[in-house]
Structure 1
Amino acid sequence: MDQQQTPHPAGTDDESVMCSRCGKAAQGTPPTWTCSVENHVRHYFCDDCSRANLRAIESRLDSAWW
C-alpha cells in the first residue's frame, strides 16, 4: 500500500503567517493557532485572539462578526 503525503497548507515552515485579527506574525504555521476558512479563504488566528473569541469561533460566525 502506497503512503501519500497530505499537501501542506499555505504558510508552510519557510513562510511567515500573520494573525488575521491582530496582525501578530509567526514563522511557519504554529500548531496552536486556529485556522478558519471563510468564503474559500484561509484565515489564521493567534492563541490570544482564538481564546478571546472562542464562542464565536465554535458558533462558526465569520470573523467579521467578532
Structure 2
Amino acid sequence: MTSLPGASDQGGSIAERAILVCARCGIPSDGPQPATWTCSVENGDRQYFCDACSRENLRAIEGRLDSAWW
C-alpha cells in the first residue's frame, strides 16, 4: 500500500480525519465525526450538527422525515 507524502496508514482518508465544525453553532469536534453528531445533506452539501444542536432541534429534524422512518 502506498501513502501520500505526509499521510499515514492509520486508517481512513484525510477527509475522514478532518475536524468537523457544527453548521449551526460553530463548535469544532474533537476529531472525526462523533457518534452523537448528526449529518444532514442539504442542497447536495453535507452539514454536521453537534449533539447539543441536534437535541435542541430534534422535532424539526423528525418533522422532515417520512412517517415510515418514525
- TM-score norm. by structure 2 comes to 0.66
Letter in 2 for 1:20: A
2:20 alignment partner, SS class: strand
How many residue pairs get aligned? The number is: 52
> How much identity, in percent, do the aligned residues show?
56
Match of 1:48 in 2: 52
Which of 40, 45, 60 is the equivalent residue of 2:64?
60
Q: What is the root-mean-square deviation of aligned Cα atoms in Å?
A: 2.1
Change beyond 3 A, Cα 1:11–1:22: farther
Q: CA deviation at 1:60?
A: 2.1
The structure number with the bigger radius of gyration is: 2
Which runs of 5 or more residues in structure 1 are unaligned?
Answer: 1-7, 62-66
Which runs of 5 or more residues in structure 2 are unaligned?
Answer: 1-11, 66-70
Which of 35, 39, 43 is the equivalent residue of 2:39?
35
Q: CA deviation at 1:11?
A: 4.8
Greater than 3 Å deviation, 4+ residue runs: none
Structure having the larger proportion of residues in strand: 1
